[in-house]
């Protein structure tokens, strides 16, 4: 379990680094003398490079032992964050974020895949949930902590804090991990077949729909709270969303290990996620009840990754790291697409309600695709 926690620590630094820029934009804009829009491009570049590098480098680094790859990825990530903290202009800053996305794109799927190899099959769900949970804690706890560090010192110190955590993870991996080799990797031709495999495409569709609906809407959470003139403050709803995320991230592992049919777990998650979006405008003015959709939204949004990874690893063992990398990429792409869609829709309509309706629609599509997955799998089992 010690090794699983080390991987989770690395994922914590990734989660914090991925979302921290959004909270540091005002201070970074003043420091680098750039607009908020320009600084925000760092998030876009990070997620795009992550999405591209995850499946691509899983091919090129497949024959290198996992321990060396994890350390290599963290060294890139550490260098990029040092570079970000020292950036004096926009080009250096954007380049640094691209390099950080590269390191994160290599480390994340490798950590998830390795976590599943370090435990017995019966504990695989908990291991996956713990590793992925590190990412959610980095977002839920790490980001507010980083913003507080920035308030007490500067945004550059916040980036150096991420460097410190990443360096600690790197040292712990070097000390406690042995040379682990992934299963014999498939050829590039076979990997390409994986990318266009109908079952894989259906799984990825569910992942991207969940990410677009959940993370896309989350980007404009402050606008939602402001528009509906809700009872509680934005901080309260952010805290509830975060608490839900922690509950969802860690409890899902036990649920996966307890129940045999992971596809039904994913279907249940999509139903509850859809329900949370429907409840949002209905309950927002009701004391206590207005807390439920945010708690449920956070829990279900963060619970989607582990069962999807479990399905991929279970059904495509020889493609493990590639399949996991592809799913991670699709999740990040979904986040970017969701933010872009919500931003465009808000710009065109100036109607916050449309963002909620969009999330309901996209989540509904994902739910129908997952239901199709279950029906097809059931038909093929006979």
pLDDT at 380 (0 to 100): 67
Cα(84)–Cα(266) distance, rounded to whole angstroms?
Answer: 37
Q: Which of 189, 203, 194, 200 is nearest to 308 (CA)?
A: 203
pLDDT in tens, the chain (382 residues): 788 999 999 999 998 898 787 678 778 888 999 876 677 778 778 878 888 887 677 666 666 788 889 999 999 999 999 999 999 999 999 999 999 999 998 898 888 878 877 777 777 777 877 887 888 788 778 877 887 898 899 999 999 999 999 999 999 999 988 876 665 555 666 666 777 788 888 999 999 999 999 988 887 777 787 777 777 776 678 778 878 888 888 788 889 888 878 999 999 999 999 999 999 989 888 888 889 999 999 999 989 988 998 888 888 776 666 677 678 778 878 887 887 788 788 878 888 889 999 999 999 999 999 999 999 877 765 5
Nearest residue to 341 via CA among 241, 182, 209: 209
- How many Å apart are CA 212 and CA 297, to the nearest integer? 13
C-alpha closest to that of 94 among 131, 40, 144, 132 = 40
Between CA 47 and CA 14 the distance in angstroms is 11
pLDDT at 324: 72
Burial tier of 33 (Cβ tally within 10 Å: 0-12, 13-18, 19+): exposed
Name which of 317, 368, 335 is nearest 18 in CA terms.
335
Structure tokens at 24: 């540091």
DSSP 120: -
pLDDT of residue 186: 58
Domains 1-182 and 186-382 in one fold = yes
CATH of domain 186-382: 1.20.1250.20
For residues 78, 84, 88, 93, the Cα torsion angle rounded to the nearest 10 degrees is 130
Q: Which pTM value belongs to this model?
A: 0.74
Please compute, for residue 344, the number of CA atoms within 13 A of its CA located in the half-sphere on the CB side.
Answer: 7
| Domain 1-182: homologous superfamily in CATH | MFS general substrate transporter like domains (1.20.1250.20)
Distance CA 240, CA 244 (A): 6
Contact 359, 344 (CB under 8 A): no
Rounded (5°) CA angle 338-213-250: 115
Domain extents for the chain? 1-182, 186-382
Q: Quick one: pLDDT at residue 312?
A: 86
Q: Are 13 and 166 in contact (CB under 8 A)?
A: yes
Distance, CA of 364 to CA of 206 (rounded, Å): 10
pLDDT of amino acid 203: 92
Alpha-carbon gap, residue 295 to 300, rounded angstroms: 9
How many residues are there in the chain?
382
Q: Transcribe 226-240 into DSSP letters.
A: HHHT-SS-HHHHHHH
Distance (Å, whole) CA 376 – CA 353: 35
């Amino acid at each position: 379990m010690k090794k699983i926690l080390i991987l989770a620590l690395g994922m914590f630094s990734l989660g914090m680094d991925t979302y921290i820029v959004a909270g540091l934009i005002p201070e970074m804009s003043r420091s680098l003398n750039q607009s908020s829009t320009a600084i925000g491009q760092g998030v876009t570049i990070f997620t795009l490079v992550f999405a591209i590098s995850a499946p691509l480098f899983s091919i090129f680094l497949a024959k290198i032992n996992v321990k060396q790859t994890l350390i290599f990825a963290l060294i890139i990530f550490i260098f990029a964050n040092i570079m970000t903290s020292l950036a004096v202009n926009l080009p250096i800053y954007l380049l640094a974020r691209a390099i950080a996305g590269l390191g994160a794109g290599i480390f994340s799927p490798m950590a998830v895949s390795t976590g599943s190899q370090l435990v017995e099959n019966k504990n695989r769900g908990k291991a996956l949930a713990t590793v992925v949970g590190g990412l959610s804690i980095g977002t839920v706890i790490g980001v507010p902590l980083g913003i507080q560090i920035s308030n007490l010192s500067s945004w550059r110190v916040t980036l150096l804090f991420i460097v410190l955590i990443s360096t600690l993870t790197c040292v712990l991996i070097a000390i406690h991990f042995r040379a682990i080799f992934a299963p014999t990797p498939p050829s590039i031709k076979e990997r390409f077949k994986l990318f266009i495999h109908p079952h894989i495409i259906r799984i990825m569709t569910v992942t991207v729909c969940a990410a677009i609906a959940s993370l896309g809407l989350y980007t404009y959470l402050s606008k939602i709270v402001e528009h509906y003139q809700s009872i509680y403050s934005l901080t309260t709803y952010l805290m509830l969303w975060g608490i839900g995320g922690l509950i969802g991230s860690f409890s899902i592992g036990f649920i996966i290990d307890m129940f045999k049919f992971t596809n039904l777990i994913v279907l249940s998650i999509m139903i509850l996620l859809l329900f949370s979006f429907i409840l949002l405008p209905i309950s927002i003015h009701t004391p206590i009840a207005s807390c439920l959709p945010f708690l449920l939204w956070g829990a279900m949004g963060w619970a989607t990754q582990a069962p999807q990874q479990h399905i991929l690893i279970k059904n495509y063992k020889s493609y493990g790291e590639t399949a996991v990398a592809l799913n991670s990429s699709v999740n990040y792409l979904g986040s970017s697409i969701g933010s872009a869609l919500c931003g465009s829709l808000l710009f065109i309509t100036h109607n916050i309600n449309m963002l909620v309706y969009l999330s309901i629609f996209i989540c509904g599509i994902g739910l129908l695709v997952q239901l199709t997955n279950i029906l097809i799998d059931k038909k093929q089992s006979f």
